[in-house]
């Protein structure tokens, strides 16, 4: 469907080209593809807050050159994955880092880039997905909930946001392991974000306590999703650690003068 208010085609979806030898031709207006993509993104469940997420709208900091370079390298790695798909070395991406570092923006930018090229994709918030799968066991609920599990297994591109943001139970661990294993075995592209640290990525898992207080041990990715799911994720995904502005390596240099 074209845009009803499109100034290029007047809502018809067609644009006339120059007449040659008394014959004019028409071509599809770009607004048709734009509307089709918007409808696909709605079906994909991409949140409204991220409907404009792209690599072009990912803002790099200007007050910290080291952090700027680190984030630019991360953006380049994610955009490279999207650009070279499906000829990627691994069929997935795992973005690891604390909240507010841009993981979801970049993940959605990759998903939207691929969908613009005609690929099918789905966005799921991890906690909401588990709730929908669990609800699907109730006969009283609609087919949308019962189909959630099948969708995450079979969709071409899956974006699973905020992995591990749910308390650990045997059911949760088994469900996540089943999803990740299925997609890994069938080389189905999966983009995952998580706030949970992983020691193999150089993430700190211990925080110093205050004066007289004991250190605090952070919950790790493996502790939240289980050893098998974590192992599969690292097998199938290019793992990218988001730079943290609090890291001593990228703190702004202070003048000593």
Q: Are 95 and 106 in contact (CB under 8 A)?
A: yes
Q: pLDDT tens-digit profile of 56-106?
A: 999 998 888 999 999 999 999 999 999 999 999 999 999 999 888 999 999
Alpha helices, H only, the chain: 30-43, 65-84, 103-116, 126-135, 143-146, 148-154, 170-185, 221-225, 227-236
- Domain boundaries of the chain, sorted by first residue: 1-35, 44-250
pLDDT at 35: 77
Structure tokens at 205: 């898992």
How would CATH label the architecture of 44-250?
Answer: 3-Layer(aba) Sandwich (3.40)
Q: Strand, helix or coil at 28?
A: strand
Q: How far apart are CA 215 and CA 208, in angstroms?
A: 5
Q: Give the tens place of pLDDT for each residue, 21-39.
A: 666 677 888 777 777 878 8
Confirm if 107 and 191 have CB atoms less than 8 A apart.
yes
Q: What is the pLDDT of residues 175-219, one digit of tens each?
A: 999 999 999 999 999 999 999 988 888 777 777 777 777 777 888
Give the per-residue pLDDT at 148. 85
Residue 174 pLDDT more than 80? yes
CA dihedral defined by 177, 235, 94, 178, rounded to 10 degrees?
-10
233: nearest Cα among 36, 96, 70 = 96
């Amino acid at each position: 469907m074209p845009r009803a208010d499109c100034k290029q085609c007047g809502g018809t979806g067609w644009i006339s080209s120059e007449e040659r030898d008394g014959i004019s031709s028409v071509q599809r207006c770009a607004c048709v593809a734009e509307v089709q993509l918007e409808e696909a993104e709605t079906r994909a469940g991409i949140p409204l807050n991220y409907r404009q997420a792209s690599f072009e709208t990912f803002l790099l900091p200007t007050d910290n050159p080291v952090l700027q370079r680190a984030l630019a390298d991360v953006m380049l790695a994610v955009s490279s994955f999207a650009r070279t798909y499906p000829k990627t070395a691994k069929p997935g991406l795992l973005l690891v880092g604390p909240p507010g570092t841009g993981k979801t923006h970049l993940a959605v930018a990759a998903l939207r880039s691929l969908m613009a090229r005609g690929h099918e994709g789905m966005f799921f918030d991890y906690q909401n997905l588990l709730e929908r799968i669990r609800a699907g066991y109730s006969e009283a609920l609609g087919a949308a909930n019962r189909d959630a599990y099948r969708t995450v297994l079979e969709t071409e591109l899956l974006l699973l946001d905020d992995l591990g943001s749910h308390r650990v139970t045997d059911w949760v661990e088994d469900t996540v392991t089943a999803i990740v294993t299925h997609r890994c075995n069938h080389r189905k592209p999966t983009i995952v974000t998580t706030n949970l640290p992983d020691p193999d990525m150089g993430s700190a898992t211990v925080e110093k306590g205050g004066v007289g207080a004991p250190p605090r041990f952070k919950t790790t990715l493996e502790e939240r999703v289980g050893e098998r799911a974590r192992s599969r994720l690292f097998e199938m995904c290019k793992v990218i650690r988001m730079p943290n502005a609090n890291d001593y390596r990228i703190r702004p240099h202070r003048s000593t003068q």
